[in-house]
Amino acid sequence: MDISKVAWTTAGRRLTAAAGSVVGERYSDNYDVVHLDPGGPLAVVADGMGEGPGSTVAGHTAVEVFLREAAVGDGPAALRAAVSQAQDAVRRAGSNLDELTGSTLTAFVAADGPDASAWIVQLGDSRVYRLRDGLLDLLTVDHSIAWVGVLHGWFAADSDEARAARYRLTRYAGHPDAPEPDLLSVTLNPGDVYLLCTDGVSDQLTYERLTRVLATDDPAAATHTLLDDTLTAGGDDNATAVVIRVERTV
């Protein structure tokens, strides 16, 4: 299992990050995409929809275009524009394919300026968690019928209806209506640990297990353990994780 590592410094904070991905047992290929930018505090994960060329093309296109466009400017307007460009690119790529071409897109982008903060970008049902002072918070919302249905009591979270509804995304890169992403501004407090992951992680590991693993001081070790745990749980999906730990610079 290959784990990539990088360290960034921004606004008086040192961010140590690690990322990795495993195929699992369900698919022969990995339709997840992950990127840690060596040049600055930026991480992206994407999860292709389905298992075929459309899934592969969508994930790689969404990440490549978002990274290119996000480098142009800072702030919410620039990030929305980057997602819009990714939407256009994925739809163009899908116009030549006779299958669904779509993917999730979830990013962590440190903000420019004197304050230690970052933007979370969310499109689809990959997730961002934050462990702060022992409390694990889910910072993102799943853009899926499963999320809406469970929230409003249409069906139980462990029901067959909920499992089927997980595949019905309401927002994703490549959607014909080009929906906007959710944007969330977060502070970067010393001791914070952020997790970006695809549903191959969040669907297979419990809240309690995520909390215990993220409490480690080593993002690379935490990433390795999370991915190994998904294989132990059955490897029912591609699984991808990025762990980012925040520390004060000396």
- Residue extents of the structural domains in the chain: 5-248
Structure confidence at residue 123 (pLDDT): 98
Strands 42-47 and 32-36: antiparallel
In the predicted model, residues of the chain with pLDDT beneath 50 are none
For residues 111 and 104, give the distance between their C-alpha atoms in angstroms, rounded to a whole number: 22
User: Which of these, 127, 242, 144, 237, lies nearest to 193 by C-alpha position?
Assistant: 242
Its CATH architecture, for the domain 5-248, is 4-Layer Sandwich (3.60)
Point out which residues pair with 33 in neighbouring strands: 46
Structure confidence at residue 36 (pLDDT): 97
SS3 117: strand
Terminal-residue alpha carbon distance, the chain:
33
Structure confidence at residue 74 (pLDDT): 78
Q: From the CB of residue 168, how many other CB atoms can be counted at a distance below 10 Å? A: 13
Residue type at position 157: A
Structure confidence at residue 19 (pLDDT): 98
